[in-house]
């Protein structure tokens, strides 16, 4: 699902600080909750709903491309243009939930990492800060991104949750939960299986991630633009996307305290 480049440029120019907040999940968790899109309830028997869910997920998987089921790792180089200039960044993630996000600031590189040693962040002040909830947060996001959560894998429960109107379209909502109050909605085109966005509620705070500029990369349809709404809009673009490359374990290793 594409959205206007004008909106992305306007969002990207908000502020460098806002970009950093968008890329760091901890800052997103502090964002104010957004009003949810209107949801229409499902009708029909539980058996029919389960069948409809399987059919829709199958459409989504097919729409993502012939190699989507074999997707194991993602590496993106990305950038955002702001009033302060262009900021570059990168993302590494794998199907098991290892995650590394980084962005170049004026004086330091900001990091958010989840891996075998736990989850941690490194801010502009150079101080290392543990993120106890980060490992589980990254694991759930990977389950969503790689499609496993939509099929009820990795401890997820998926169900149809009516429809939602967003971006002048009506989408079918696939709602994912992991046994607590957090909710992960995927808004999908019922006709094509195309993905509009995620609407994620973690710790009572909501953010919406809209995807656009979809391109086939090694047999997988990947979004090259993303607009994050979390009380304010932030837009950024991938400059390059690499799939199924071996990720250096050192990317996820926690540095020694100084």
Under a CB-based contact definition with an 8 Å cutoff, are residues 124 and 105 in contact? yes
Instruction: Tell me the average pLDDT across 200-213.
Output: 95
| 101-147: pLDDT as tens digits | 988 876 667 899 999 989 999 877 778 899 999 999 999 999 999 99
Rounded to two decimals, the pTM is 0.81
Q: The tokens of 96 are what?
A: 């098991």
| 87-105: pLDDT as tens digits | 888 999 999 999 999 888 7
């Amino acid at each position: 699902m594409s959205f206007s480049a004008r909106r992305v440029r306007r969002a990207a120019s908000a502020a460098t600080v806002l970009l950093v907040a968008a890329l760091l999940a901890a800052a997103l968790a502090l964002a104010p909750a957004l009003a949810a899109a209107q949801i229409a309830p499902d009708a029909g028997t539980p058996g029919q709903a389960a069948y409809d869910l399987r059919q829709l997920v199958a459409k989504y998987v097919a729409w993502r491309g012939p190699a989507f089921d074999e997707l194991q790792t993602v590496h993106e180089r990305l950038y955002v243009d702001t009033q302060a200039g262009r900021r570059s960044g990168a993302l590494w993630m794998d199907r098991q939930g290892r995650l590394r996000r980084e962005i170049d600031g004026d004086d330091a590189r900001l990091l958010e990492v989840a891996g075998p040693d736990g989850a941690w962040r490194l801010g502009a002040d150079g101080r290392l800060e543990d993120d106890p909830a980060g490992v589980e947060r990254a694991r759930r996001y990977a389950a969503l991104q790689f499609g496993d959560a939509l099929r009820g894998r990795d401890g997820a429960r998926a169900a149809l949750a009516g429809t939602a109107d967003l971006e002048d379209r009506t989408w079918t909502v696939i709602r994912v939960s992991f046994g607590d109050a957090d909710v992960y909605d995927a808004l999908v085109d019922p006709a094509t299986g195309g993905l509009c966005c995620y609407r994620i509620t973690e710790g009572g705070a909501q953010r919406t991630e809209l995807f656009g500029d979809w391109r086939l990369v090694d047999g997988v349809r990947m979004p090259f633009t993303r607009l994050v709404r979390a009380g304010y809009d932030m837009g950024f673009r991938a400059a390059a996307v690499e799939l199924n490359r071996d990720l250096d374990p050192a990317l996820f290793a926690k540095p020694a305290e100084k």
